[in-house]
Amino acid sequence: MKALKHWSHHTTDGNRIDLEVQNRHLFSIFVLEDDVIRVLLQKDKTLRQDRTWSIQPHGTTVPWGGRSRLATDGFSLPTFKQDLSDEKLVIETAKLRVTVIKPLALQWEAKDENGQWVTIAADRPTHAYMLGLQDHKNSHFLRRFKGDRYYGLGEKAGNLQRNGRRYEMRNLDAMGYDAETTDPLYKHLPFTITKSESGIAYGVFYDNLATCWFDLGNELDNYHVAYRAYRCEDGDLDYYFTLGPTIKDVTKSQVRLTGKTAFPPKWSLGYSGSTMSYTDAPNAQEQLEGFIDLVEQHAIPCDSFQLSSGYTSIGDLRYVFNWNYDKIPDPKGMTDKFRNAGINLAANIKPCLLTSHPMYDDLASRGLFIKDSEADQPEISLYWDSDGSHLDFTRQETIDWWKKNVTEQLLERGIGSTWNDNNEYEIWDFKAQCDGFGKPIDVGLIRPLFSLLMMRASEEAQLEYAPEERPYLISRSGCPGLQRHVQTWTGDNRTGWNNLKYNIKMGLGLSMSGIYNIGHDVGGFSGDRPDPELFVRWVQNGVMHPRFTIHSWNDDKTVNEPWMYPEVTPMIRAAMHLRQQLLPYFYTLLWKAHVNDEPMLRPTLMDHEADQNTFTENDDFMLGEDILVASVVTEGQRKRQVYLPENGVGWYEFDTGIYHAGGQTIEVDAPLERLPLFVRAGTVIPLANAFAKNTTECHLEELAVFPFQGTGERTLDVFEDDGISRKWENGEHLTLEIQLTGTASGNELTIRRTGSMEPGERQVIVSVAGLGTNGLDIPLRVNGDALPTASMAFALSEF
């Protein structure tokens, strides 16, 4: 590795400024937006990888073969100032200023609330950029200021704040991981958010899919000032610097950079059953169909079921697209029973074929596998206790083969969704070759890309088969851009209180990194089955995530199911009913994630950055802007200390209506049957029938008003459509535009309905929380008319 020091200005062409470094390398700065600047280093003025699949700015689509790494379409390319002297180069937009100094280092400034330029970030002044001359390794070092706080990196174990640790990006099938300590895990998301000591937040995203490391203060070197490091095994040093100024702004900008969040059907928010035990059983069809009877028997709301890979087995091994007719003699009959029960099916599929797979030789002869680096034959990797070869999704014939099998083996049999699993592509021959859409690439350069292309191929098959429906897909592994296609989860966690606690933080890390539609295997996937108390607490936490799935492969061969412990089944059912009740709120959040890039899950600090107490590590999180979830993650706990962030308006307990001022820690009752939830004062929460059989019956039935205690104003939307098509894009929806205003004499609620979906004879109840508690009595007027009681029904057609 050589440090890069000497530079000179080469050219300025439009919004690209090129510097020549060491008289041989090209260091380019792209002004893409007023708040987004890109830095690209080309070794010997040549790109190691000339394409990207991660960058998808507004209005663009990444071609299957990738987007040119030098492309700037989709960005506004604003005007900027450039000032060059012998010692430095200053580039200034309306919001960012970057100064290049000698030896090569960058300093970043933004305007504070007074309009003054302040430093928010800076490269290490010594050896900030290092480059491998005999290989393609590269490193970038930023200064580590004392007051900086680091977040992001997606799915990482441990605390939400990343300071003082070292993390690796190298996708692994981390079966039975510890959510506090295990690293690396499943996803490759090389993106950090820094809350700088100036108070201004910024993001740094490295657009490189090779294995890399982030050191955020674990390493010390006496020869340099305090620093943090990014080190990569291969590829180009190519990063995007994004100004907030808030943490939420940075998160939303990352989504706008890498692609909008998919908008799957409404039923994807319902409870999804799953276990490996059913499909592993000799009488798999009988057990699977029995699940339909059990949810009915126990009155459990259910929208979908995920078929684990046992349906493809030969012996103990898995063979993708191979139906085991001994276990499941009548797949179509089985899927019809699920459909008639209103339960959608998703089937597990894997991107690697074991060498004993019935179709292996045919695919090998056609060149559909990734090739070994030393021989003209498929690469061979360890996969599911055997040897297998990974499909090459950078080859069009492979994509076509995959889509054909998804269609014939799943979609035509009544399974409408795909569960793209075990797609970490653990190929350790980094020089193995893929087709690269006609331009071969070393696998080590793009290993995480294959999971993205796999899910895209599955999505395309689903879209072609059912073009009128919004597709639903799941993927365990992925890289930046996965949010464009799938819902995801945090993989094969292990049962235990510690994993319940740290899965929350892991999910928030994903959400802060732009991956919003997420969840966890509720109850734990592996290890001992959860005891009744842990299971209840895990379900209570799980129902507050976008993805809610109980999925297991317990060591003792038991199955995590809602009814596994009769003594607590009523509590499990009650938690699920709470989720059903909140479905209109969840669905509006999903729509806003797609339309406005709004995170669904948020750490409490994201909406309350002015309250320094929210930066203390805690187990709470926000569901949207308005609901604070205080999950119980400690065994035996029946009272819960909760810090209520200072939001200027206060908080209500969701179930009791008791009001609390913000900026204080309170103790609340948390008996086993209760999940403490708090609602921001001055908002309206849309609710459905808690006892609905599934999400198709979860229509808006109530607007619960949590009034201002004084003055204030809030606007929000409640979105509803047919739940499955794209007709809403053409106006076929029912959206309530709501304004709540707090005045000295009470609260004014103004409701306006938009969209062409007719409400018919439907009514909605408007209710007021908090009346009669703490001596509160806050009058409410609805569209100018006084609400005479605590609740009243209105015809939706009136709005």
- Domain 601-798 bears CATH identifier 2.60.40.1180: yes
Predicted pLDDT of residue 98? 98
Taking each helix axis from N to C end, the angle separating 532-542 and 569-581, rounded to the nearest 10 degrees, works out to 0
- Give the ranges where 282-341 is alpha helix by DSSP (H): 284-297, 331-340
**In sequence order, what are the beta bridge partners of 86?**
none
Question: Which pLDDT tens digit goes with each residue over 544-597?
Answer: 999 999 999 999 889 999 999 999 999 999 999 999 999 999 999 999 999 999
Q: What is the mean pLDDT of the segment spanning 652-677?
A: 97
Taking each helix axis from N to C end, the angle separating 497-512 and 247-258, rounded to the nearest 10 degrees, works out to 70
| DSSP 8-state code for residue 784 | T
Q: What is the mean pLDDT of the segment spanning 428-451?
A: 97
Compute the CA torsion angle 177, 602, 54, 62 (nearest 10 deg).
130
Do residues 744 and 716 touch, judged by C-beta distance below 8 A? no
Question: Which pLDDT tens digit goes with each residue over 60-75?
Answer: 999 999 999 999 999 9
Percent of the chain with pLDDT over 70: 99
The answer, yes or no, to whether residue 775 has pLDDT greater than 60, is no
Cis peptide before 245 (omega within 30 of 0): yes
The answer, yes or no, to whether residue 194 has pLDDT greater than 80, is yes
Question: Which pLDDT tens digit goes with each residue over 205-239?
Answer: 999 999 999 999 999 999 999 999 999 999 999 99
The answer, yes or no, to whether residue 153 has pLDDT greater than 60, is yes
Could you tell me the two tokens for 750?
């103004």
> By three-state DSSP, how is residue 290 classified?
helix
φ, ψ of residue 747 in degrees (nearest 5): -115, 140
The answer, yes or no, to whether residue 445 has pLDDT greater than 80, is yes
Rounded to the nearest integer, the mean pLDDT of the chain is: 97
Predicted pLDDT of residue 774? 61
Do residues 659 and 681 touch, judged by C-beta distance below 8 A? yes
Could you tell me the two tokens for 516?
């919003």
Question: H or E stretch including 540?
Answer: helix 532-542
Do residues 765 and 688 touch, judged by C-beta distance below 8 A? no
Predicted pLDDT of residue 367? 98
pLDDT band at 776 (very low <50, low <70, confident <90, very high): low
Predicted pLDDT of residue 611? 98
Question: Which pLDDT tens digit goes with each residue over 26-60?
Answer: 999 999 999 999 999 999 999 999 999 999 998 89
Cβ–Cβ contacts within 10 Å for residue 438, how many?
A: 9
- What CATH number does the domain located at 2-153+190-258 have? 2.60.40.1760
DSSP per residue, 610-633: T-GGGGS--S-EEETTTEEE----
Asked if the domains at 2-153+190-258 and 601-798 fall in one CATH topology, the answer is yes
- Which residues touch 731 (CB under 8 Å, ≥6 apart)? 755, 756
- Which residues touch 408 (CB under 8 Å, ≥6 apart)? none
Predicted pLDDT of residue 654? 97
Q: What is the mean pLDDT of the segment spanning 645-670?
A: 97
CA torsion through residues 361, 362, 367, 368, sign: negative
Burial class (CB in 10 A: 0-12, 13-18, 19+), 790: middle
Question: Which pLDDT tens digit goes with each residue over 468-484?
Answer: 999 999 999 999 999 99
The bridge status of strand 547-550 relative to strand 518-522 is parallel
Q: What is the mean pLDDT of the segment spanning 621-637?
A: 98
> Which residue is listed with tokens 């492309």?
71
Do residues 103 and 56 touch, judged by C-beta distance below 8 A? no
pLDDT band at 385 (very low <50, low <70, confident <90, very high): confident
**In sequence order, what are the beta bridge partners of 68?**
51
Predicted pLDDT of residue 613? 98
**In sequence order, what are the beta bridge partners of 117?**
111
Question: Which pLDDT tens digit goes with each residue over 83-105?
Answer: 999 889 999 999 999 999 999 99
> By three-state DSSP, how is residue 796 classified?
helix
C-alpha 619/C-alpha 540 separation (Å) is: 14
> By three-state DSSP, how is residue 490 classified?
coil
Q: What is the pTM of this model?
A: 0.97
Direct distance between the N- and C-terminal alpha carbons of the chain, in angstroms, rounded to an integer:
67
φ, ψ of residue 99 in degrees (nearest 5): -115, 125
Domain ranges of the chain: 2-153+190-258, 601-798
> Which residue is listed with tokens 């996965």?
482
Q: Which amino acid is at 726?
A: R
455-472 as b/e: b if 16+ CB within 10 A = bbbbbbbbeebeeeebbb
